[in-house]
Structure 1
Amino acid sequence: MIVKAAAAALLGLGCTFADAVSLPLTDGRPAGPFVKRQSAPAKYTPTASDLESGCANIGRVAASFARTVEAANASSFQVDPKIAYDCLASIPLDKEPVTIFLNEIRKFVQFQSTLEYLARPPDKSGQDPMDILSGLIDIGSAVNSSSITSWYEVETRVEKLLGGCHEGHLYVAWVLPSLINFRAPFQLVSLSEDGTQLPKVYVADDVALERGRVSGTNASAITHIDGEDVVTAIDKLMYYESSQSPDVRWNAAFQTQNPPKQGDFYTRTRYPGANTFILTFENGTSTEYPYIANALNVPGGSLWSSLASGQDIWDKLINVPPRQNTGAAGKLRVRALEDNKHRIQRTPLDDAIDRLTKRQSNDNVAPPPEQLIRYDGDFPDTPGVSPFIQDINKVIGGYFMADYDDRESKTAIIDITGFSPDDPTAQFATQAVQAAVELFLEEAQRRKMERLIIDVRGNGGGFVNMGYDLYKQLFPSSEPYAGTRLRNHPASLKIAQAFTQLVDQDVINGLIRDIGGGMGENLSNAQLSRYQNAQYASLSNLNQYLNLDANGSTFRSFDDFFGPVDIYDDQFTHILTYDLNNLLAVGDLGYSITGYGDRASYATKPAPFKPENIVLVTDGTCASTCGIFAEFLRNQQKIRTVVIGGRPNRDPSVAVGGTRGAQVIQHTAHMLNFVQIIENNFAPVDAAEKAEWDQIFPRPFQMNIAEAAVNWKDNIRATDPTQTPLQFYLEAADCRLFYTKQTLVYSHELWNKVDDLAWGSEDSCAQGSLKNATVVLGDANGVPVSIGRSSTAGYNSGANGDLPQLTGDYDVDTALWIWYGVRHSFGASRGRNI
């Protein structure tokens, strides 16, 4: 109940329990202290005294909490958001390590494949101009001039600079949000009366109290947040979310069931700018609610007793090289990695190297299919129905509509809300999903199923191999085309030259012979070293011999592979494609993608479903591997798409709104290993080359940063003569629907709706159609058709000289800084309308 949550939060602001629980209920909506004003609460600015006492005040709350029964198992404890921000804002910085850190991030960001496109976004891409390299220089200048004196401000500004790029593969995973984070006291939902009427925004628990229709007397919709229209307010709040589509960013604000997510209105990583917020409802009432702050609790420890000031946090938790610390700073980094596991993705290479480290054959061999699947088990994303089959890691579930619906149905459903397991320690995920899909499709054919719904809502990507395999099982004779490319610059050139020299065709042939069809468990140490070099060369894609060209042929020379190719005032490699028959290139010796290797015979099988009898259901979140999979379906098979949710309007909305980059590379887990392999095998010829390496190669962070990542490779459609990354195209779904209460909670209700719209008696989408769908894949020249706005608008496009529009929260100064960096860093020839 929200009343209890709000009451607990109110205690942090000095209210008594009696005061909190005696608040009245109005029209079924939990009430707080009623206010006449509807404008935003004043932005909170701590005084010098507040800053001095903030961390010590948290320490006192921690000491009190440690005496409770809950402390033995709790991962956090609640504090007043005011003192939480006081503590964070009091963390100082030393200029030298911060400057070094910003320089290391700048070196790493050179590998971001879309740097120039971000600085000068294509028209209708939905992207505001963001010059990352110049922005980082601006932040460094502000640090050195003492315009920035707080580490928390450095984190916030870098986060917003990268967040404004709307690129899910581009991020820094900080440790401070794992030490202190913020929450709203409840979650929100966006619901339509029937799926086609425009949705309204509700407090989630208000609607849970509702037994009938959403518009009944017990649930009052939200009309304003802090005095601002609710749509505008949520648009601003979600601006820094990772999708270029404002509809997909909108969806990220709300609670969902498939997959289970609390929504970013509730989950506030950073301080929201004020200690309370005001909601105004359709019934005319306004209520002020407090935010909640949570501080890290280490059961049985005394973390906060040693953190009496911001200086203590800087000295003991931040200004500490992560690889040299196993104390509190190291534990905090581990916690941060866990908190960021949704975007710190493992690859098949990571799993393969882990298995090689063990060097035990029984750990390297996948069990038979019957041990990798489960029948009729609970699936977390689909309450109310159980899948006919699922993999042991609960990545994918296969359903038959006839199993849960009274009517006779020939429709099957595949539900896959990620292309990797939530548990990073899960074993043989790709093999398990492959087995579950194969057995499900066999059962579908036995039952004579004719239609298929593929549900990828919330799918943020994962193992690329898994996406390829699912496509090949659906269309065995089709060759999936994914043209990719990397940015060509001095550091990537050096790495490509080194990996191509280290892992040439002779080395590859020798490794295949030495491994002999096993998992590499019997390799000698020298052979193992060559194999690990080959695995990292494969992961990097910076190797002539482990890639194919756009036509699927081997490259004739290094220059034919690496280029440079001049496009969009930048330089890139030539187009690359995967050699799916080469297990070293695929990255996992124990796994053949369907249709290749020891599963090559599957390529002659008939497709289990006709393309016109398949519908892809998304909420626009589909990203990374999901985006690649969706591109195969839509571009090569003309599969129809349905998108769920988005802002309350009748405009078209995107089917794939997450990152459409083809690969993410992490700084510490991957990039540093690339550099180490080069330096272990080659030596600079002189002092000048040594200095060049230090200047261009990323080095370990000398501060406690959990991880960082860039988008390594663009995804380029074969028919696009402009070779613009798919990241900068927003392509409309064929049909748009909104959630109702039933379809939000119960996936099978949504599947029934889609089934009727595609093959049954229903005709009406909120926008578009499935009965008369036209999959738009490009104009007359083959250029994809984008529905994004033109380049003349946007939060960072400027107004009245240097005054930008608000960029998502109370921090107008950050908006000004971003626009200043965009406008003044790359001059009149770059950027838009400046």
Structure 2
Amino acid sequence: MTEFQSTMSYLEDPPSSYAEPAVDILSGLNEIKQKISDGEYTNEFTFEAEVAQLLTSAHDGHFGFEGMAYAGVFRWRRDEEAALVSLSLDGSVPKVYAWADIGEVQEPSPVVQINGQDVIAFLQEESEAVSLHDPDARWNDMFVSATADTFGAFTNSKDYPGPNTTLTFENGTTNSYINSAIVLDPGFWGNVEDGESFYLTFIAPSSLGFRERSTDQLSTYHMPKRLMKTRDNNIQKRASPLTFPEPFITHPDELVSVSGYFIDQDGIEGGVAVLAIYTFLTGEDDENVAFQDMLQDFLAEIRNRGTRRIIVDVRSNGGGKVFLGYEAFKQLFPSIEIFGASRYRATDAANLFGEQISELEFSQRTGELYTLPFNFRSYIDENLEAFSDWEDMFGPVTANGDTFTELLRYNLSDPLLTMSQLYSLGISITGYLDRADITEDYFDPDDVVVLSDGVCASTCNIFVEALTQQAGVRSFAVGGRPQLGPMQPVGGTKGTLVLPADFLVSLSGLFLSDVARTRQQFNEWASFLPFPFSIATADATVNFQDSIRPGSDTPTQFTNETANCRVFYTPEMMTDVTNLWGAVAGIAWGDGGQMDEGRCIQGSARTQQNRANPSGTDDSEAGTTSTGAAAAVVVPPMSMMPLVCALVALVSSLLGASLM
């Protein structure tokens, strides 16, 4: 599986712009293998947890391995009464509060300790289990989020949180809560009597009845569970979350959190429109059509009202379908051609798949294979020219000690790529095909702001990348660690295509069973193709394609770009989101239509960043590239079963961004 992970060499030897330490995944897996050989594991859970934690250290939400014992049978849960928020009550650096106290207690007391440990140190350490690559985004992910209908990663712990959680408050009071394990599928426990029967029911690869795998294993569509927030029933109410006003328009499916609003703002003639896109994940084709129609109807109303300013709110957007991200951008800026270049590793397995699949002619029988990312016809080159054949696309091109394909872009004028109801969205993208006549931009880039909490990943990054890097839209970040200074608007994976291990294994099995013509060919291919894991998995995926900018060979995953302005959450913003939108609008356009940088967090406004780092590299007008994580200003951060075959299978070897 790991051979398809696009960033392996960059993880081992990252550029200085990357905020996280280097990690050698293969060496880590070999260390786990050695521990198995030495008999150091006494239970399945510990083994699976170490594998999961190793891959999580890549901080790439598209890359992970979660076994059933670790993540598929039950989930750890802290009491919702222990849910937390990070808020600034007086304009100063935020403190941590119990969510239950906000709006209920006149002067809430901040939390100072969790389980006897300093609250900031505890939360920063626990946030390392979150797959986001930016520490400010990981911090935000710990707390209550109305946009994601969740009490936060603190209450939905990835790792065992112990038997209870104790909060100590600044006023000296303490509250203790019992932690629990939520059984995901109680009906499958009828045959479990002991460790062996548990293993046979949930862990053994033959336990397919429990997993209810799809028969369509060749589909690349997949949203990694790491990018999907645990919805909490006491928060989840509707597509437009709690603390939100009634929307002017919303997607008809309540699980597709996309809505449009209008707010009045002093000093801004015509008011401000807000397009809240909290997911690009839809279900059936009619939901894709509804997504397109909703955006179109909302933008038409904006024109009818004469509203010129718009905030695009993408907080807690874990991604979804790539071409819905393209569609949202093209509706805002139809005159701009999305660059959107990517590439994948030039491995033996990829070459084999590509050589064979590229020989196919399209038909109803071959369509499923023909439209896979291993066909040169699926892409055009960085100059929008067609590749002549597989070899022309495959390269390989050397970068950072690894080999990759040529840069790949999508031909959005190909109806098979977008309009097909069998193989894609079932819609044409605005500006192409039967929507080619839509080419005029309504908004000036200075009249558009994208708002993020850093918990923006996958397709969300593709969307924000196009807005900021191509259209020149300004970005605002909200929240983050309790320190002054800038913050990145995109803290999640910046990969452009996730592939599930099931898909790669199924494709490999198809090649070995139906394509290999001789025993010698079978043996040769089997030596490098991925094969099934020897234990059942809850989720296993790789980031297959990187996002690459013009003139660069470094994946954007390893760039560090801060927002134009940062603000802290306040209690008023948490209880009424229009206060957040109003604050952003006031900063962006409240100074006679100009940016009022003096209202940004100290050191976070673009001109302040440039003064603090005069020798830094300005990657573009829409993003400053710096070394390491977004730099703080003034205030620092506060501080057994047969496992061998399972690991051998692991090391031998599209929720997230998906095309369909």
TM range (shorter): 0.7 to 0.9
1:766 aligns with 2:601: yes
Q: Hey, what does 1:655 align to over in structure 2?
A: 489
Q: Hey, what does 1:250 align to over in structure 2?
A: 139
1:372-431 superposed Cα distances (whole Å, 9 cap, x missing partner): xxxxx96432544111112222432111114x999964311100001113xx5x452221
Q: Hey, what does 1:672 align to over in structure 2?
A: 505
Q: Hey, what does 1:290 align to over in structure 2?
A: 178
Matched residue type, 2:434? D
- Retained in 2: the 8 A contact 1:672–1:700? yes
Q: Hey, what does 2:296 align to over in structure 1?
A: 438
* Change in CA separation of 1:696 and 1:782 when aligned onto 2, cut-off 3 Å: farther
* Change in CA separation of 1:320 and 1:379 when aligned onto 2, cut-off 3 Å: closer
**C-alpha distance in 2 between matches for 1:138 and 1:115:** 17
* Change in CA separation of 1:175 and 1:401 when aligned onto 2, cut-off 3 Å: same
Q: Hey, what does 1:522 align to over in structure 2?
A: none
Q: Hey, what does 1:201 align to over in structure 2?
A: 96
**C-alpha distance in 1 between matches for 2:288 and 2:410:** 17
* Change in CA separation of 1:625 and 1:311 when aligned onto 2, cut-off 3 Å: same
Q: Hey, what does 1:115 align to over in structure 2?
A: 8
Q: Report deviation, 1:448.
A: 0.7
Equivalent residue in structure 2 for 1:742, among 554, 565, 572: 572
Matched residue type, 1:132? I
Q: Report deviation, 1:572.
A: 0.6
**C-alpha distance in 1 between matches for 2:222 and 2:340:** 26
Q: Hey, what does 1:53 align to over in structure 2?
A: none
Q: Report deviation, 1:241.
A: 0.9
* 1:528 match: secondary structure: coil
Alignment of 1:65-464 (within 5 A): 108-176=1-69, 177-185=71-79, 186-194=82-90, 196-210=91-105, 212=106, 216=107, 219-272=108-161, 274-296=162-184, 298=186, 303-304=188-189, 306-322=191-207, 325-326=208-209, 329-330=210-211, 343-344=224-225, 379-381=239-241, 383-393=243-253, 394-402=256-264, 409-421=270-282, 424=283, 426-464=284-322
Alignment of 1:686-701 (within 5 A): 686-687=519-520, 689-701=521-533
- Retained in 1: the 8 A contact 2:486–2:604? no
- Retained in 2: the 8 A contact 1:181–1:295? yes
Q: Report deviation, 1:332.
A: 11
Q: Hey, what does 1:779 align to over in structure 2?
A: 617
Q: Hey, what does 1:571 align to over in structure 2?
A: 403
1:555 aligns with 2:397: no
Matched residue type, 2:192? L
**C-alpha distance in 1 between matches for 2:550 and 2:531:** 36
1:554-585 superposed Cα distances (whole Å, 9 cap, x missing partner): 12343331111111011111111111111223
Q: Report deviation, 1:130.
A: 1.6
Q: Which has the higher helix share?
A: 1
- Retained in 1: the 8 A contact 2:224–2:541? no
Q: Hey, what does 2:642 align to over in structure 1?
A: none
Q: Hey, what does 2:547 align to over in structure 1?
A: 715
Q: Hey, what does 2:349 align to over in structure 1?
A: 491
**C-alpha distance in 2 between matches for 1:294 and 1:748:** 35
Q: Report deviation, 1:193.
A: 1.4
1:148-179 superposed Cα distances (whole Å, 9 cap, x missing partner): 13110111001100111100001224333343
Matched residue type, 1:258? T
**Coordinate RMSD, CA, aligned:** 3.1
- Retained in 2: the 8 A contact 1:220–1:281? yes
1:471 aligns with 2:360: no
- Retained in 1: the 8 A contact 2:127–2:142? yes
1:123-170 superposed Cα distances (whole Å, 9 cap, x missing partner): 130122221122222212211221113110111001100111100001
Matched residue type, 2:497? Q
**C-alpha distance in 2 between matches for 1:576 and 1:333:** 29
Q: Hey, what does 2:657 align to over in structure 1?
A: none
* Change in CA separation of 1:174 and 1:660 when aligned onto 2, cut-off 3 Å: same
> Of the two, which has the highest radius of gyration?
1
Q: Hey, what does 2:434 align to over in structure 1?
A: 598
- Retained in 1: the 8 A contact 2:484–2:604? no
1:288-347 superposed Cα distances (whole Å, 9 cap, x missing partner): 44322333563xx5x54532222221122211324xx32xx346999xxxxx9863599x
Q: Report deviation, 1:243.
A: 1.3
**C-alpha distance in 1 between matches for 2:327 and 2:393:** 26
**C-alpha distance in 2 between matches for 1:650 and 1:562:** 46
Q: Hey, what does 1:789 align to over in structure 2?
A: 628
**C-alpha distance in 1 between matches for 2:13 and 2:151:** 34
* 2:366 match: secondary structure: helix
**C-alpha distance in 2 between matches for 1:307 and 1:719:** 57
1:528 aligns with 2:413: no
Q: Report deviation, 1:232.
A: 1.4
* 1:209 match: secondary structure: coil
* Change in CA separation of 1:780 and 1:202 when aligned onto 2, cut-off 3 Å: closer
**C-alpha distance in 2 between matches for 1:296 and 1:599:** 44
Matched residue type, 1:120? D
Matched residue type, 1:757? I
Q: TM-score, normalised by structure 2?
A: 0.84
**C-alpha distance in 2 between matches for 1:563 and 1:317:** 42
- Retained in 1: the 8 A contact 2:314–2:452? yes
**C-alpha distance in 2 between matches for 1:435 and 1:774:** 40
5+ residue gaps, structure 1, are: 1-107, 335-339, 347-376, 512-526, 792-807, 809-824, 826-834
* 1:201 match: secondary structure: strand
* 2:358 match: secondary structure: helix
Matched residue type, 1:126? A
* 2:417 match: secondary structure: helix
Percent identical residues: 32
**Structure 1 range deviating more: 112-121 or 181-190:** 181-190
Q: Report deviation, 1:656.
A: 0.8
* 2:617 match: secondary structure: coil
5+ residue gaps, structure 2, are: 216-220, 228-236, 631-638, 640-650, 652-660
- Retained in 1: the 8 A contact 2:83–2:155? yes
**Which structure has more RCO (C-alpha within 8 Å, separation ≥ 6)?**
2
Matched residue type, 1:417? Y
Q: Report deviation, 1:180.
A: 2.9
1:657-708 superposed Cα distances (whole Å, 9 cap, x missing partner): 110011101111x323433553465224442x31222222122334321331
* Change in CA separation of 1:382 and 1:441 when aligned onto 2, cut-off 3 Å: farther
Matched residue type, 1:599? R
Q: TM-score, normalised by structure 1?
A: 0.67
